[in-house]
Chains A and B, each alone.
Chain A
Amino acid sequence: MELIDLYLDMFVSFFKIGLFGFGGGYAMIPMIHDEVVTINNWISIGEFTNIIAISQSVPGTIAFNSATYIGYSATVNLGFATWQGVIGSFVCTLAVSTPPLIIMTVICAFFSKLKDNPWLRSSLSVLKPAIIGLIAAAALMLMNGHNFIDYKSWIIFALVFIASIKKVDPILLIIISGVAGLILY
């Protein structure tokens, strides 16, 4: 595949992700998965979950972190050089931030009118519960044979689930799970 074609495809994919990315990071996971794993086969489902894990463990938002990482990883996976991967990563990050930039610029111009607009409010009232559904889909989608290999995976899942509800720091939970993986496998 030509490098320019790859960059163009990545730009279009991440532009769409940015444009339809209502609800922020977690709600965007099914969409990123669709574009990057299912449609374009840029990375494997196992690597996809790794990227989400890494994105959660460093500063920044999940949407951007995964765009930056996937841009690099997809380019290098196809046999291109490191510096070409860096450009890929720039392309994806730029693409995912362009729609918000356009939309927020328009909104700033009409802010006072939009604030209490009933049309906007009505569409949001349906969007909000739909976004929760998208996040649930993200969790269900990742509960697959690649990520849950045996009963030990389910024990880790259950313990982290409970700890997370009890407000234990997510980064600490990721570190502990990593250590657990090292010991158990």
Chain B
Amino acid sequence: MKIIKSYWELFITFFKIGAFTFGGGYAMIPIMRNEVVNKKKWMEDAVFMDMLAIAQSMPGPIALNTALFVGNKRNGFKGSLFSGLGVILPSFIVILLIAIVFTQFKDNPVIERIFKGIRPAVVALIAAPLIGMGKSAGITWKTLWIPIAVALLVWLLGISPMYIIVGAIIIGLAYFWFLKLNMKK
């Protein structure tokens, strides 16, 4: 009984976070921190922050990764299934309903006019945070060429982003290996 209650609590906590957070994954993090650390006292803040750093650097949306981590810490693998399901389910239901309704009106001229205004705005919303993100990722004049080269390779040459990701990981590992070799000498 107790374990079922625990799973349910995980599910419902993350369901609420998933349902009421607009603006993508990053907006969810402060709310998760408040729920998990302050309200439910499931873990210490330092543990949460450590885990966040890892969740952020792994593939997948940060909100899901954080939910999975909290669920796993609390109730193991099954716990992560419940917290993960909780955080995904609200937007799944909402988006599915929108998709069902919207695909019927896709070629409606009024809808098309509205989207003519929205599309350039979407591009601006993606481009605007770049500067701030560059700063927080610690990009300097010395490393500025990396994002520029990546953007050009993907945009102009159509190189698959997957090769970029794999390439970046290999370069990072090779660089550390090189440093280690040099230190031994």
Contacts and interface: CB of A to CB of B under 8 A. Distances in A.
Interface string A142-185: 11001111000110111011001100001101100111111011
B30 interface: no
Given A63-B60, A101-B68, 6 more contacts: A18-B59, A56-B24, A122-B176, A139-B130, A157-B123, A164-B129
B96 interface: yes
Contacts of A42: none
Contacts, number: 347
Given A34-B161, A59-B90, A111-B54, A122 B126 contact: no
A137 B166 CA distance: 17
Interface of A: 16, 18-22, 24-27, 29-31, 34, 38, 46-47, 49-50, 52-65, 68-69, 72-73, 76-77, 82, 85-86, 89, 93, 96-97, 99-101, 103-105, 107-108, 111, 114-115, 118-120, 122-143, 146-149, 153-154, 156-158, 160-161, 164-165, 170-171, 173-174, 177-182, 184-185
B169 A126 contact: yes
Contacts of A138: 126
The binding surface of chain B is classed by DSSP as helix
Task: Give the 5 A-B residue pairs with the shortest CB-CB distance, closest first.
Answer: A181-B117, A60-B91, A133-B150, A100-B60, A123-B172
B21 A59 contact: yes
A59 B122 contact: no
Given A55-B95, A157-B123, A174-B122, A164 B161 contact: no
A126 B126 contact: no
B8 interface: no
A contact patch SS = helix
A69 B99 contact: yes
Contact of B165 (A22, A65, A118): A22
